[in-house]
A = this chain, B = another copy of it.
Amino acid sequence: MSSIGIVTPQTMHFAQALLLQSGATLHDYMLMFETYGTLNAAKSNAVLVCHALNASHHVAGVYADQPKNVGWWDNMVGPGKPLDTDKFFVIGVNNLGSCFGSTGPMHHNPATGKPYGAAFPVVTVEDWVVAQARLADALGIVQFAAVMGGSLGGMQALAWSIMFPERLRHCVVIASTAKLSAQNIAFNDVARQAILSDPDYRGGDFYAHGVVPKNGLRVARMVGHITYLSNDDMAEKFGRKLRDAAQTGDYKFGFGIDFEIESYLRYQGDKFSEYFDANTYLLITKALDYFDPARAHGGDLAAALAQTRAKFFLASFSTDWRFSPERSREIVQALVSNRRQVTYAEIDAPHGHDAFLLEDARYMNMVRAYYEQVWEESAALPHQTISAQQGSKEYA
């Protein structure tokens, strides 16, 4: 149940061309977003929530015509929730290249008159942040109280702190990393290869052929999903339980489903392949792979974070083997070496990477306590710290 109730997504069109990190240009584009709570007169209570791989601008609440379509972080965002919409004005934005409304591969490519398909330019975390900053400009938000995200969303929050240091007072990075490992990239490439080699992918132009590379998407999601769950959690939930054990008590000696874990994973894969866009999957895994702010500083993360000005909250989960606590500790270390103020919580939770989306009293209470601090600080904030002049700074 959502406590925020019915919400309505909005769109904003941007006519100003966006030069991407790749060198390509999006001549114009649209962003889909949602807001929750009320922007105060000083416009000082805004929090941007950045989404991860398969999520969207729909962070909290439900739609009038889709009462079961609850936002992906509804347990985190809402009245009385850890990120309290009675206090904060929260924004969720669908990122460029995604498949939930913002300009992406299934949209009209003005250069060809057909859907972009695989011609949609590769976008990076930094490109998303620039697009989000323009949305903030349009909404008159010069400085966010916080920018927040989990996993790939955490990368965006971190990029904000580097690219627009004066535009956020707090940076909240959950279950994330400053760069993917070789193993992370390897899993992403397996997923991409599954999609690219599906004959129904048709070089990315499957829209025109009325097909969808479902088999590829399904395998991609299955392998991804394994990395979101902890080994222990899988053992606990599924172990070696047979799906139809009650009926037969024996193996089926075929290539159908024997074990519950197979049934669960295939179901997850099937469901995903029904709603997610294959080109978006490729784009988002590449954005993950490419993120590495230390790269421009010879691999020195502390140097990359030297220009940050925000205060930081980081959290990681003990059984997360996708982005393990060690990866968060690297960020904490680099921030501390820059004498930034950092709060870091390493939470002993059984649910692997997915833990960042799940209920866990200790985790939720820590985020709640942090936002209470942010709120008290905001209340004491002199109005002049937020000047319109800072808003016009564009990232070069």
Residues of A within 8 A of B (CB): 21-24, 118, 121-122, 179-183, 185-187, 189-190, 192-194, 196-199, 215, 218-219, 222-223, 226, 229, 231, 234-235, 237-240, 251, 253-255, 258-259, 261-262, 265-266, 269, 282, 286, 289-290, 292, 295
B192 x A194 contact (CB < 8 A): no
A259 to B288, alpha carbons, bound, how many Å?
13
Shortest Cβ distance from A285 into chain B, in angstroms?
9
Residues of B within 8 A of A185 (CB): 240, 259, 261-262
What distance in Å separates the Cβ of A155 from its nearest Cβ neighbour in chain B? 14
With A22-B253, A269-B193 as given contacts, are A180 and B240 in contact (CB-CB < 8 Å)? Answer: yes
Which of A122, A179, A198, A219 has the largest number of chain B CB atoms within 10 A? A219
Please tell me which one of the listed residues B122, B193, B226, B254 contacts residue A190 in the complex, with CB atoms under 8 A apart.
Answer: B226
Q: Give the number of copies in the complex.
A: 2
Assess whether A181 is in contact with B258, with CB atoms less than 8 Å apart: no
Closest-by-CB residue of B relative to A219 is B194
A-B contact pairs, 20 of them (CB 8 A): A22-B253, A23-B253, A122-B253, A179-B240, A181-B239, A181-B240, A182-B235, A182-B240, A182-B259, A182-B261, A183-B226, A183-B229, A186-B226, A186-B262, A189-B259, A193-B215, A193-B222, A193-B266, A251-B290, A255-B282
Chain B residues with Cβ below 8 Å from A269 are: 193
